[in-house]
Structure 1
Amino acid sequence: MKVVLVCALLSLLSLSHACPKECSCNSNTKVVDCRGRGLYDIPKRLHPETQELYLQDNRIRGLGSMAFREIPLVRILDLSNNSITTVSPTALLGLRALQRLSLAYNSLRELDKRLLGPIRTLSHLDLSHNSLWGLPGALGDSLRNLSHLGLSHNKLTRLDRSLLEVLTHLDSLTLRSNPWRCDCQLIGLKLWLETYIYKGGVLDEVMCTQPEEMKNTDLQKVPYQLFHVCMTTSYHYLFANIHHLENERLLRGHTHGNHAHPSSHAIHVPMAMGEGFGGGGGGGGGGLPECEPKQRHRPVNLRHAIATVIITGVVCGIVCLMMLAAAVYGCAYAAIMAKYQRELKKNEELATAQKADHATADEKEPLENAIA
C-alpha cells in the first residue's frame, strides 16, 4: 500500500513539472524551447531545473512580478522579438544565476532601476531595437560583470558616463542607430569611449544627428575644437577631463609595466584645460606624448585633483584681488601726489609774486622821500 502511495506521489510530482504543451523540452540539456508558438504569456509548469528558456518570436506583451519564479536556475533567457512594452521591477526576482538576457526587438520605452538589482551574474544584455530614451544610472550597479551590452536602434540622445564607468569587464558595446545629440553633455561619453577603445573594447559607431554641423559624423571623429565652448560654460568637462587623465595615467603605467610600446595604440588625450581642444580628432587621432616621465607613475586621487584645482582657483583669485588693490592704491597715491605737487607749485608761485611786490614797494619809498 505504501509503495503504491509513493508511486502515485512521484507520478503526480512528475506531472506537475511536465514540459508545457506549447514547448519542446530536453531533459538532458535542461533546455526549454518555446520559439514561435504564438504565446501571449510565459508558459506554466516549467521544470524547476530549467537552465535555458527560449521565448523569442511570440506575442508576449508584458512581464509581471516574479514571472520566472518556477525556474530559479535559468542561465539563458531569450525574450526577443515579442511585443513587450512593460516589465515589472520584480519580473526577474529570484534569477540569481542568470547570465544572458535578451529583450531585443520589443517596444520598451524605459527600464526600472530595480529590474536587475538582485542579479550579479549577468554577462550578456541585449536591449537593442526598442524605444528606450535612456537608462537609469543606478542600473550600472547590477552590470559590473557585463561583457556585452547592446543598445543599438533605440532613441538614446545621450548616455550617462557614470553608468558606463562601472562596466569594467565590458568587451563589446553596440550604440549605432540612435539619435545622438553631440553637444557639451556628450563630451563625457567621447572621453570614456577613447579609454574604452584604447583598452581593446569593441564598438560599432556613435553617429551624431544633432547639431546640424555634426550630422552624420561619428562622435569619435568629431574634433575637440567643436567642443571648445564647453570649457567656459560647464565645469562638467573639467571633472570629466581630470578623471579621463587619471585613467590614462593608470593605463600608461600598466602598459609600461608590461613593456608594451606606447605607440601601439592610437588615442588623442587632451592634456590640460588650456590646450585640451587644440588637437585633432576622435578616438583614432594623434599619438601618446613622446616625452616619458622619469618618475614612476602613481595613481591620482580624483578628489585630491579636484581639491587642488579648487584651491588653485581660490589662490589665483586672492592674488588677482591683491593685484587689483595694489593697482587702485597706486593710482590713488599717484593722484594725491600729483595734486600735492600742483598745490606746492602754486604756493611757490604765490610766494614769488609776493616777494616781487614787496621789492617794488621798497624801491618806491626812497624815490618818494627824495622828491619830498
Structure 2
Amino acid sequence: MQSRMNVISLLMTLLCFCGTSTSCPSGCSCNVNRTDCSDLNQLASLDSILNQLPFDTSYLNLSNNNFTTVEPGSFSNFSILLHLDLSRNLLSTINPGCLSNLSSLLHLDLSRNLLSSLSPSSFSHLNNLEVLDLSENLLARLPVNLFSGLGSLRELVLRDDRLKELNPDQFKGLTELRRLDLSFNSLSSVPTHLLDGLQNLVWLSLMGNKLRTLQQTSLEPATALQHLLLEGNPWNCNCNLISLKHWLEWITYTGGSVDSANCSLPANLHGKDLRTIPMEMFRHCYPLYLETRNPSAADGHQVPPGSAGDCMRQRYRTVSVRRATATVVVAGVVCGVVCVMMVVTATYGCIYAMLMAHEQQQLIEGNSQQQQPLMVAKEPEQDEKEDLMPTIGKGAEAKECVGWMAFPPEVCV
C-alpha cells in the first residue's frame, strides 16, 4: 500500500511539471513568481517563451515583442497566472480558446496592438478577471456578448479604439464594474440603456468623442457615478441638453466631479461651459420641453398642480418669477421696518419740538423780567412844571425856543 501511494504521488508530480520548466527563459528576468519578458532584443516566438516559463508564474509581462498571433491553448499550463501583459505587440486577433485555461487571471493587458476584431468567446472563461485593457487598438465595433462572462470585472479600458457605436447590451452583466474608459473614440451617441445594471460604476470617461448631445436617461442607471469626463466633445447646447445640464448640476451638488462640457454650438455660446450657462438662456425651450414631458399642456390644457408638468413649469420660469413669493415677503418685511422707523422718528421729532418750544418760552419770560427797570421816574407836578418853564421873551426867548425841539413852532412866536 505504501509503495502504491509513492507511485501515485510521483505521477502527480510529473503531471504538474509536464510542459513547463523551472528555469527562466532566455532574455527574461524572473523573480519568485514574476517573469518579465518585455522588449526582447532577439526575435523569439511566443511558444518558445511559454515552454520555458516557471510553472508557478503568476505575473507575466510579454509587452513590446511584436507578437502577431496567440494560438489556442498557449497558456493552458498556467492556471495560476494572475497578471498577463501582452501590450505593444502586433496582435491582430485573439483566437478563441487561447486564454480559456486562465480562470485565475486577474489582470489582462492587450493594449497598443493591432486588434481589429474579437471573437465573442475571447474572454468567456476568465471568470475572475478584474482589469481588462484593450486600449489603442483598431476595434471599430465590439461583439455584443464580448464581456458577458466577466462578472468580476472592475475596470474596463477601451480608450482610443476607434469605436463608432456601442450596443445597448454591450456591458450587460458587468455588475462589479467601477471604472469604464471610452475616451478618444468616434462615438456620436450613447445608447439609452448602455449603463443599465452598472450600479457600482463610479468613474466614466466619454471625453474626446463626437458627442453633440447626451440624454439624462442614459446616465441615470449609474446611480453610484461620481466622476464624469466630458471634455473634448462638440456639444450642441440647445434645448436637448437641458436634462444633461440638470443632471450635471445634481452630480456636482451631491459631491461628485464633472469636467468642463464646452459648447461648440450655437455661436453665441461657443466655448462656454454648459454648467455655467444661466437657465434664463434656455427659457425659450420651456414649451418644447413641456411638450415632450406632458403633451396635454402644450395643447393649452390646464396642468394639474403637483403634476410633473407643473413641476417643469415651476422649474423653467425665469428667476424673477420663480422667486416672486420670496421677493414679496422680503419687501413686506423691509417696508414694515421702514414704516416703524418713520413713526418712531416722527414721534421723537414732535416730542423734541415741544420740549424745545417750552424751553424757549421759559427763556423769553426770564429775559423779559430782567429788562424791567427797578425804579420808575416820577413825572414833575404841575407847580414844578411851571417853575421850570422859562419866561418867554422876544429875543432871548426865541433863541431859547429853538433849543427846545419838543415845543411846537407856535410857542416861539
TM-score clears 0.5 = yes
Number of the residue aligned with 1:175: 230
- Give the CA deviation at 1:235: 1.6
Number of the residue aligned with 1:273: 313
The unaligned stretches of length 5 or more in structure 2 are: 1-6, 22-34, 36-45, 60-79, 295-310, 329-413
- Give the CA deviation at 1:272: 6.9
Contact 1:120–1:145 (CA under 8 A) maintained in structure 2: yes
Number of the residue aligned with 2:307: none
Give, as a single letter, the amino acid of the residue that structure 2 aligns with 1:31. Answer: H
- Give the CA deviation at 1:278: 2.4
Give, as a single letter, the amino acid of the residue that structure 2 aligns with 1:201. Answer: G
Deviations 1:91-138 (A, max 9, x none): 112111000000001100111112211210000000000001111111
Give, as a single letter, the amino acid of the residue that structure 1 aligns with 2:196. Answer: D
Contact 2:81–2:104 (CA under 8 A) maintained in structure 1: no
User: Structure 1 residues 136 and 11 mapped into 2: Cα distance closer, same or farther (>3 Å)?
Assistant: same
Number of the residue aligned with 2:221: 166
Distance, in Å, in 2 between the alignment partners of 1:49 and 1:9 is 19
Give, as a single letter, the amino acid of the residue that structure 2 aligns with 1:33. Answer: D
- Give the CA deviation at 1:274: 5.7
Number of the residue aligned with 2:285: 230
Residue 206 (structure 1) aligned with residue 246 (structure 2): no
- Report the structure number with the largest CA radius of gyration: 2
Residue 26 (structure 1) aligned with residue 58 (structure 2): yes
Distance, in Å, in 1 between the alignment partners of 2:197 and 2:113 is 28
Distance, in Å, in 2 between the alignment partners of 1:212 and 1:193 is 22
- Give the CA deviation at 1:167: 1.9
TM-score by length of 1: 0.60
Contact 2:171–2:195 (CA under 8 A) maintained in structure 1: no
Contact 2:94–2:119 (CA under 8 A) maintained in structure 1: no
Match of 2:276 among 204, 207, 221: 221
Distance, in Å, in 2 between the alignment partners of 1:171 and 1:221 is 19
Distance, in Å, in 2 between the alignment partners of 1:166 and 1:202 is 17
Distance, in Å, in 2 between the alignment partners of 1:198 and 1:13 is 58
Distance, in Å, in 2 between the alignment partners of 1:114 and 1:273 is 35
Distance, in Å, in 2 between the alignment partners of 1:14 and 1:41 is 26
Residue 128 (structure 1) aligned with residue 186 (structure 2): no
Give, as a single letter, the amino acid of the residue that structure 2 aligns with 1:38. Answer: L
Distance, in Å, in 1 between the alignment partners of 2:156 and 2:278 is 36
User: Structure 1 residues 40 and 290 mapped into 2: Cα distance closer, same or farther (>3 Å)?
Assistant: farther
Residue 39 (structure 1) aligned with residue 45 (structure 2): no
Deviations 1:61-101 (A, max 9, x none): 12221211232210000111111112100111211100000
Distance, in Å, in 2 between the alignment partners of 1:29 and 1:94 is 18
- Give the CA deviation at 1:12: 4.8
The unaligned stretches of length 5 or more in structure 1 are: 240-270, 281-285, 292-372
Contact 1:32–1:54 (CA under 8 A) maintained in structure 2: yes
> Percent of counterpart pairs with the same letter?
29
- Give the CA deviation at 1:215: 1.3
Partner secondary structure for residue 194 of structure 2: helix
Deviations 1:155-178 (A, max 9, x none): 111112112122221121000011
Contact 1:188–1:237 (CA under 8 A) maintained in structure 2: no
Number of the residue aligned with 1:187: 242
Give, as a single letter, the amino acid of the residue that structure 2 aligns with 1:35. Answer: S
Higher helix share: 1
Distance, in Å, in 1 between the alignment partners of 2:215 and 2:244 is 7
Number of the residue aligned with 2:110: 55
Number of the residue aligned with 2:16: 10
Give, as a single letter, the amino acid of the residue that structure 1 aligns with 2:58. Answer: N
- Give the CA deviation at 1:2: 5.2
User: Structure 1 residues 275 and 57 mapped into 2: Cα distance closer, same or farther (>3 Å)?
Assistant: closer
Q: Say which structure, 1 or 2, has more relative contact order (CA 8 Å, 6+ apart).
A: 1
Distance, in Å, in 2 between the alignment partners of 1:227 and 1:111 is 31
Give, as a single letter, the amino acid of the residue that structure 2 aligns with 1:125. Answer: L
Tell me the number of residue pairs that the alignment of Structure 1 and Structure 2 aligns: 252
Worse-superposed segment, 2-11 or 162-171: 2-11
Number of the residue aligned with 2:31: none
**RMSD over aligned Cα atoms:** 3.2
Number of the residue aligned with 1:341: none
- Give the CA deviation at 1:273: 2.6
- Give the CA deviation at 1:9: 4.0
Match of 2:173 among 118, 122, 126: 118
Number of the residue aligned with 1:148: 203
Contact 2:197–2:221 (CA under 8 A) maintained in structure 1: no
Distance, in Å, in 2 between the alignment partners of 1:236 and 1:111 is 30
Match of 1:102 among 148, 154, 157: 157
Distance, in Å, in 2 between the alignment partners of 1:138 and 1:182 is 23
Contact 1:63–1:86 (CA under 8 A) maintained in structure 2: no
Partner secondary structure for residue 39 of structure 1: coil
Give, as a single letter, the amino acid of the residue that structure 2 aligns with 1:276. Answer: Y
Partner secondary structure for residue 115 of structure 1: coil
TM-score by length of 2: 0.55
Distance, in Å, in 2 between the alignment partners of 1:236 and 1:78 is 44
Number of the residue aligned with 1:242: none
